[in-house]
Amino acid sequence: MSRAAREVRYPIVLKIASPDITNKSEAKGVKVGLTSELELRQSFDELIDNARAYKPDAKILGVTIQEYLPPAREVIVGALQDPSFGATVMFGLGGVWVEVLKDISFRLAPLNAEDAREMIQEIKGYPVLAGIQRAPPADIDALVNIIQKVGQLAHEFPEITEIDLNPIFVFDNGKGAVTADARIVLGRRK
């Protein structure tokens, strides 16, 4: 780990790596904004301890080190295989907002750009993305692209039973979006 720590550009994000812990935040398995090798080493031990306390029988692979991203608006994009309708895509504000507000929209996959744009515009939180109080608008085109690709992936591969991209950090218009955490669940092909 010391070699990796020396090659990292700070600040960084450290996340627990375990196939048995899907909600890293709930397990206290995330440290954000670490600025030194000392913080990295201390946080590594803390994340391992937190993961063991959260789920003692979890297989812990270690941690992942990721680039710390500047503040941005957070959204979630997901997909699931509905038994009646097939591949279904979901969009909403990300992070805690999706759990608190339950402000999400759904469409059947595959989607065209207009469908994806409508999904974004129909949530109550859309003004946060459109730009309010002198804030520039978020990169809606980048979101449209992500929503379409997630829908296409779920549509073409029915063995993917669930996709969860949360959070996606959306930057100002023209500056793109980055998925900070992703989970894909495979099941039996139907």
Domain ranges of the chain: 2-67, 73-186
Provide the mean pLDDT of the chain.
Answer: 91
Which tens digit of pLDDT belongs to each residue from 15-57?
A: 999 999 988 889 999 999 999 989 999 999 999 999 999 999 9
Which tens digit of pLDDT belongs to each residue from 121-172?
A: 999 999 999 988 888 999 999 999 999 999 999 999 999 999 999 889 999 9
pLDDT of residue 101: 77
May I ask the CATH class of domain 73-186? alpha beta
- 137: preceding bond cis by omega (within 30 degrees): no
Per the CB < 8 A criterion, the answer to whether 62 and 45 are in contact is no
Rounded to two decimals, the pTM is 0.80
The pLDDT of residue 67 is above 80: yes
Per the CB < 8 A criterion, the answer to whether 148 and 120 are in contact is no
Mean pLDDT value across residues 73-92: 96
pLDDT of residue 25: 87
The pLDDT of residue 186 is above 80: yes
Q: Identify the three-state secondary structure at position 113.
A: helix
The pLDDT of residue 62 is above 70: yes
The domain 2-67 having CATH identifier 3.30.1490.20: the answer here is: yes
Dist CA 109 CA 145 (whole Å): 13
